[in-house]
Structures are given as structure tokens and as C-alpha cells.
Amino acid sequence: MSGYPDARFLTSANRPDQFVADQGAEVAFAGRSNAGKSSAINAILGRRLAHTSKTPGRTRLMNFFQLSPGERLVDLPGYGFARVPAGTTEEWRRLLEAYFETRRSLRGLFLAVDARRTPGELDLRMLEWCRGLGRPVHVVLAKADKLNRELAARALTSSREACGPDVTLQLFSARTGDGVVDARARLRDMLGGQRSE
Ligand code: GDP
């Protein structure tokens, strides 16, 4: 399956009143800063729309992308970066809570986790928010090219244990393209499988 050649940036938001109109279907993409989230989004879309960064913690905005009419991907601000100004974590929590509590078009969550780490407290909080809404969660173990086969298998097992049986997981590498096809299929499923090829 191809990517989303017509995908385009819609808007950024740091307040709920800046969110795109709550219509159609939307999948959110979350991850700790530097987990590989932006690279994963770009690889899945087949377009370089999300900004990758060598300075983690820089982006505090939610970015809305249109994939096709009525279908969106929302790039949530990265979290877990130590050197953020006081109050930013609280702002992040309020923004994300407002999003998860009100967003009717939310169909599911993609969670990017560095394959060399196990999901942390904030990853699990995102997962719980989504689970509480009855929405599916898909964990993308990013930068899997940095692990050999044995370590990659172990990463899958330990992350599965941490996240619980209702979550789907996969290995992913934006660098080699491994897992991109599976991630696109999962995204399409969450959005409702209505996208025309
Ligand atoms: P984000 O902060 O979660 O959006 O992470 P980025 O996508 O900006 O990536 C953070 C760093 O990890 C960058 O230096 C990327 O080049 C690197 N990176 C991202 N994806 C991969 C991957 O699949 N393989 C490898 N080896 N490095 C990656």
C-alpha cells in the first residue's frame, strides 16, 4: 500500500479552541521526545510533513495533518524531556486531557516508543487515556534498525507486557522502511478502512 501523497499540513494548536473542527476520523500520534515519532509519521505518510529535530523538547504544539478529505493524523507534542520550562508539563497535561476528553473524531492512538526502551510512565498515561475512551492503541517500536534480531524480539515481548494484551505492537524503522506497510494498514484500519487507493 502506498502512503498518503495528498497529505497536507492543516494547522497547529496549543489551545483547544485552535483544534480543527471535530468531524470525520482522526488518529493521534504520541511519543516521548526523541522516540522517533516525527520520522515514523513521515515514513508512514510517505511525505516529510512532521518536523524531525535534533533538539528534543522543542515542539510544544499539536499539528493537524489532513490525509484525505475527512481523515486526519494529529501529531501530539513530545513529552518526557527534562529541560522544559516550569509550567510546560502542566500545560501539556491540560492540552492533552482536553483533547482526549472531548475529541469525538478520535479513532485511535499510535504511540512511538524507542525500541531500545520500554514504555515509560507518560507513555502508559497516554495509553490509559485512550483505553479509557475505548479507543485502540498501536505501539510502534521505532529505530528498530538499532537492535539485532534477538534484542528486537525481546523489545516486543517486554513492551507487550508493559502495555497489556489489548494493545497491538510492531517493530518499525524509518531508516530502513521496515514495518511501514504494517503501520499504514493499522492506520487505515483505525480510520475506518474507507480510504480509496
Ligand atoms: P521525535 O522527537 O520523536 O519526533 O523523533 P525524531 O523523528 O525527530 O527522531 C529523533 C532522532 O532519532 C533523530 O536524530 C532521528 O534521525 C533518529 N531516528 C528517527 N527514526 C530513526 C530510525 O528509524 N532509525 C534510526 N537509526 N534513527 C532514527
For 44-80, the pLDDT digits (tens) are: 999 888 887 655 555 578 999 999 999 999 999 888 8
If one residue of 32, 39, 62 were mutated to test the ligand 1 pocket, choosing by the most ligand atoms within 8 A of its CB, it would be: 39
Length of the chain: 197
The whole-model pTM stands at 0.93
Residues with CB under 6 A from ligand 1: 31, 33-39, 52-54, 56, 78, 112, 142-143, 145-146, 173-175
Q: Quick one: pLDDT at residue 54?
A: 57
Ligand 1, atom 10, lies closest to the CA of: 34
Alpha-carbon span 132 to 65, nearest angstrom: 25
Q: What are phi and psi of 18, to 5 degrees?
A: -95, -5
Residues forming beta bridges with residue 75, ordered by sequence position: 29, 63
Give CA angle at 174 (172, 178), nearest 5°: 45
The DSSP symbol for 20 reads: P
> From atom 28 of ligand 1, which residue's Cα is the shortest distance away?
143
Q: What is the band of 183 on the pLDDT scale with cuts at 50, 70, 90? A: very high
pLDDT tens-digit map of 98-125? 999 999 999 999 999 999 999 999 899 9
**Percentage of the chain lying above the pLDDT 70 cut:** 91
Residue 76 DSSP code: P
Residue closest by Cα to atom 17 of ligand 1: 36
- At residue 157, does pLDDT exceed 60? yes
Percentage of residues in the chain having pLDDT higher than 90: 76
Inter-residue contact 189 to 183 (CB < 8 Å): no
Whether pLDDT at 194 is above 60:
no
For the chain, domains (ranges, CATH) are 8-191 (3.40.50.300)
Give the number of the atom of ligand 1 that is nearest the alpha carbon of residue 41: 7
String of b and e for 113-146 (b: at least 16 CB within 10 Å)? bbbebbbeebbbebbebbbeeebbbbbbbbbbee
Q: Are strands 8-13 and 137-142 parallel, antiparallel or unpaired?
A: unpaired
